[in-house]
Structure 1
């Protein structure tokens, strides 16, 4: 999941699931209050890949009478890395550099298993990533004992250590990802576009824009030309039976000859 102002993006890339296709859903809200995430995701169960947005925290709390949260947090290593990268860029700290190199080794493991079945991904992570994560955690703890707690490096490290269970959760399930980059990539065109066309004009405009972004981004995730898809669907949707609307979803779509 990625968010930006009044827009949020949820990306699903199935690996070994029965879900018919990869999906990107943009949801518009007039502000960043947590109630919007609660309204959209409160009924969901499973894992949530996300950044540290405070509005998600209520979704991770165990439900009354149970020990299980509605959603299990999977934190993003790209966000943790970015904070350390910013410290290194500003200070050239050798400790920040060492942390970045260790994180790069973890991402290299992910690159080697990208697209592999979940069971293979899980086995590789447990054999290769877990020892490196343990070494990184030791490095973080040692560094925190020797640097000022008010330093930018300490703050960047604490961002990671305070989320350690969520950051390492990807090693427990081969379906999970190490980072939230899929959602971040999906929302980047919106960020660039917003600077060019300066807003949607109204709440209803934001809702409609979110719908269009959802279709276009989902087409791209499924290797479909968005322009060809929209041209075809717009030309035929008025006469298409509502009972067969699923035929026009990007992963089911077949252009008319």
Structure 2
């Protein structure tokens, strides 16, 4: 097994001119299309820069250093300009992806903080990256999963309300108050997250283990054991199993929690953890009556992992605009990963063709619809 060193190539395109001896007309082949008009970067180099930044979490300044060691000087500002130009080309794909995600009847939503550099100084503010995930594979669906990200400069509730303006169905999310407005008119049904409820009890158990915390975690574990058994079954089969097995356990758990709450100080950490679950009980138990729904929101939390990894490496977005282009590329790369598509190969192909691609057929370039050429 050997690793061949990556190599840069200068590709020189010769376009000969020919003159007609009869009419003096001069003809020349048109210049080949480029991902960036009048730019020097080919689709392979651009795809490498994008993948390195948003899939492998390598900051642009570090990429510049790597290329410099290979004998090619590419400044950080030049790389940043390339990323920006690529995002302009890819923006129709982001819109098509958003539309596809919203057509599902059940979505997973979550958000995470991201540091953003303030203009004119070295301080940062806290922006947000929001995610909406369409993924029904646990219920036996063969439709392609997809993830869509959006950036906002703050965490106001208007942002998820805007993102989900065209959606109706079940929304699996945490207890963030900004989602509440979405549930008021009945167009969207709330389904809560057992992972959040369990985590609060588990945190208390780690600090001060007791028979109560152990029993609570055991009961929740029984709910998850059922989910493991039915994963991949059809929605109808999952519903039947949950009605038979899950609903009795949920009824018993609710009675147990309410009974134990009477013995706890309402100011205790365990009482607060139990209250968190009881206050969301209808939303937490919704999944038992819907075979498409999940017990938790881990699908959305998993989608945010690459954001967390990136945050640890490049520390902050340089501006709100940087957050927006990050959201676009996380959307495409995340959807590639969900569908088993290699992100760099996908971006290379799309950047090679999208400049001349008909805008009314851009949906054909979504990750699961592209047949990538063999290398």
Give the Å deviation of 1:203: 1.2
Alignment of 1:123-142 (within 5 A): 123-142=240-259
Alignment of 1:74-85 (within 5 A): 74-85=191-202
Structure 1, 170-179 or 187-196: larger mean CA deviation: 187-196
* Cα distance between partner residues in 1 of 2:319 and 2:180: 29
* Cα distance between partner residues in 2 of 1:115 and 1:215: 25
- Indicate yes or no: 2:135 matched with 1:13: yes
* Cα distance between partner residues in 2 of 1:74 and 1:150: 27
* Cα distance between partner residues in 1 of 2:299 and 2:141: 20
Which of 355, 359, 363 aligns to 1:242? It is 359
* Cα distance between partner residues in 1 of 2:141 and 2:216: 38
* Cα distance between partner residues in 2 of 1:217 and 1:202: 22
* Cα distance between partner residues in 1 of 2:280 and 2:257: 13
Partner of residue 53, structure 1: 176
Q: Which blocks of at least 5 consecutive residues in structure 2 are unaligned?
A: 1-108, 114-127
| Preserved contact between residue 141 and residue 234 of structure 2 (Cα < 8 Å) | no
Partner of residue 239, structure 2: 122
Give the Å deviation of 1:152: 0.4
Which of 144, 147, 161 aligns to 1:24? It is 147
Give the Å deviation of 1:41: 1.4
* Cα distance between partner residues in 1 of 2:361 and 2:189: 35
Give the Å deviation of 1:137: 0.6
* Cα distance between partner residues in 2 of 1:148 and 1:82: 20
* Cα distance between partner residues in 2 of 1:124 and 1:193: 40
Alignment of 1:1-257 (within 5 A): 1-5=109-113, 6-14=128-136, 20-61=143-184, 63=185, 69-256=186-373
Give the Å deviation of 1:84: 0.2
* Cα distance between partner residues in 1 of 2:200 and 2:140: 33
* Cα distance between partner residues in 1 of 2:267 and 2:215: 20
* Cα distance between partner residues in 2 of 1:38 and 1:46: 14
Secondary structure of 1:147's aligned partner: coil
Give the Å deviation of 1:17: 9.3
Give structure 1 regions of 4+ aligned residues with deviation exceeding 4 angstroms: 15-20
* Cα distance between partner residues in 2 of 1:245 and 1:20: 19
Secondary structure of 1:224's aligned partner: coil
Q: State TM-score, norm by structure 2.
A: 0.65
Give the Å deviation of 1:43: 3.3
| Preserved contact between residue 87 and residue 93 of structure 1 (Cα < 8 Å) | no
More helix by share: 1
Give the Å deviation of 1:44: 1.8
* Cα distance between partner residues in 2 of 1:146 and 1:42: 44
Q: State TM-score, norm by structure 1.
A: 0.94
